[in-house]
Amino acid sequence: MDLVKDLKWKKGMDVATLVNSLGKVGFQAIHLERAKETIIKMKKDGCKIYLTFTSNMVTSGLRGFFAQLIKLGLVDVVVTTVGGIEEDIMKAHKEDFVIGDFNSNDVELYEKGVNRVGNLFIRSESYAKFEDLMKPYLKDIYSKKKRVTPSEIFNEIGLKLDDEDSILFQAAKKKVPIFCPAVTDGAFGFHLFMFQQDHSDFVVDVVKDFSNILFSTSQDEKKGLISLGGSISKHHAILACLLNGGLDYAVYMTTASSSSGSMSGASTNEAKSWGKIKDDSDAVTVIGDVSVTFPLVMVSVLEALEKENLLKE
**8 Å CB contact between 242 and 274:** yes
Residue type, 55: S
CB 287 within 8 A of CB 260: no
Helices assigned H by DSSP within 72-184? 82-92, 106-111, 124-144, 150-160, 167-174
- Paired sense of beta strands 147-148 and 223-228, if any: unpaired
| Of 276, 278, 307, 312, catalytic | 276
Residue 278 is among the residues annotated as catalytic for this protein: no
Asked if 53 and 128 count as a contact pair (C-beta separation under 8 A), the reply is: no
What distance in Å separates the CA atoms of residue 276 and residue 256, rounded to the nearest whole number?
Answer: 19
Amino acid at 8: K
Contact of 36 with 251, CB cutoff 8 Å: no
Beta strands (DSSP E) in the chain are: 48-53, 77-80, 98-99, 114-117, 120-123, 147-148, 178-179, 203-204, 223-228, 247-254, 277-287
In what side-by-side order are the strands of the sheet with 120-123?
98-99, 120-123, 114-117
What's the number of CA atoms in the CB half-sphere (13 Å) around residue 226?
30
Contacts of 67 (CB under 8 A, 6+ apart): 164, 165, 166, 167, 169, 170
Residue 62's closest CA among 304, 296, 306, 307? Answer: 296
> Which residues are annotated as catalytic?
276
